[in-house]
Structure 1
Amino acid sequence: MNQKERMLSGLPYDSFQDGLFEDRIRAKILCKKINEADGYDPDEITKLVGELLGKHKEHFFIEPPFRCDYGYNIEVGEGFYANYNLSVLDCAKVTIGDRVLIGPNVCITTAGHPIHPLSRKKYEYAFPITIGDDVWIGANVVINPGVTIGAGSVIGSGSVVTKDIPAGVVAVGNPCRVLRAITDEDIDCYYKDRKFDVDDYR
């Protein structure tokens, strides 16, 4: 098993062997092109991001600047949108569902390092992250290796997600914990208890 296969299998791996370093250089070059692209040409940005990602649906957009390790381990769904400064350490698979919204300055990191400094010298590890359909991730959230966030959930700004979050909840904090379930009573409110004053929100 080579180091790339070990990386994708959740085993300790050397990130400078078997073409992994070269793969990261390719991603850096594409990210540089994305981040220097004309901000008034979203089609060009989307084309470049599409070259970088492993899989994507027809409609998606990532606001530059954007950074990732490999790109080819990232999969995004239909209607995916990420605001400024998304960083994805995609040493393992990152699967993001349809209609997911990501706020600014979010870090999604599948990668980690052993605790002991001697073990850390050469090896790292990575565990996949899955984000379900219709999730909203607030600004400045960190999502750690191996986490799954269930469909329809909201992750509050500044949270550090260290464990799985179920579907259909609001979760906040460091470490991130479930605050409450999302219910039908939430449909008519646009912010806390403030009601919509328009009719086309459903």
Structure 2
Amino acid sequence: MKHEERLPIHDPELWERGESVLGADFRAMSARVLEVTALTHRLNALAFDDEEGRAEVLSAILGRPLPSRLTVYPPFYTDHGLNLRLGERVFINQGCTFLDYGGITLGDGVMVGPKATFITMGHPVDPGERRQFLTGAPIVVEENVWIGAGAMILPGVTIGRDSVVAAGAVVADDVPAQALVAGPKAAVVRRW
């Protein structure tokens, strides 16, 4: 991750005594998650041919007018919506998840295959810090990228213009422009 932000989720002193007290930032984030969950539920329950209804709800999720020629096939999931920036001619297939609190940008002409997942937030690896704050970094997908079915894009990643992420790939590092990346990266590299 190039730039990692921390969002406190409670007062660490009280946590040590066993009391979890949520901070104002975390409460605001939680409230937005509940609001957007209700909106995505409405979006996903609409008839597929109700393009006007889908556009209205999707615009409410994103908090702005939709870009031209945007296509989003439900079901569609996001936890925040306001930090999801979609370019023109973006295509998002069924069952995709965008955990966008840390910011996700999809450039013009990006295509996203079914069940792709974009994650911008997480918890520290250190067990002592895991419940104290969230970490996060934005994801940037440049123009004309194709993200294959079931790919997972992790916090802080930039995917260069015209690249392809193969189906099922886990992208933890930046992808250069005009490149094909494939394969899982999951391997045990540390134990505690």
- The question of a shared fold, defined as TM-score above 0.5 by the shorter chain, is answered with yes
Q: Find 2:23's aligned residue among 17, 21, 27.
A: 17
Number of residues of Structure 1 aligned to a counterpart in Structure 2: 169
In structure 2, distance between residues paired with 1:154 and 1:174: 15
**Shift in Å, 1:100:** 0.6
2:94 matches 1:84: yes
In structure 1, distance between residues paired with 2:180 and 2:52: 33
Q: Is the 8 A contact 2:138 2:157 kept in 1?
A: yes
Q: Is the 8 A contact 2:9 2:131 kept in 1?
A: no
Q: Is the 8 A contact 1:89 1:110 kept in 2?
A: yes
Q: How does 1:177-196 map to 2 (within 5 A)?
A: none
Q: How does 1:166-181 map to 2 (within 5 A)?
A: 166-175=176-185
**Shift in Å, 1:51:** 1.4
TM-score by length of 1: 0.78
Name the counterpart of 2:17: none
**Shift in Å, 1:54:** 4.5
Paired residue type of 1:14: I
TM-score by length of 2: 0.82
Superposed CA offset, 1:102-159 (max 9, x none): 0001010001111122211231111000000100000010000000000110110010
2:74 matches 1:64: yes
Q: Is the 8 A contact 1:12 1:124 kept in 2?
A: yes
Q: Which runs of at least 4 in structure 1 moved beyond 3 Å after TM superposition? A: none
**What percentage of residue pairs aligned between the two structures are identical?**
30
In structure 2, distance between residues paired with 1:54 and 1:120: 31
Q: How does 1:35-54 map to 2 (within 5 A)?
A: 35-54=44-63
2:169 matches 1:156: no
Q: Structure 2: which 5+ runs fail to align?
A: 11-21, 187-192
Question: Secondary structure of the equivalent of 2:6?
Answer: coil
Q: Is the 8 A contact 1:54 1:74 kept in 2?
A: no
Q: How does 1:77-116 map to 2 (within 5 A)?
A: 77-116=87-126
My pick for the range that moved more, 69-78 or 18-27, is 18-27
Q: Is the 8 A contact 1:54 1:73 kept in 2?
A: no
Paired residue type of 1:22: A
Q: Is the 8 A contact 1:46 1:60 kept in 2?
A: no
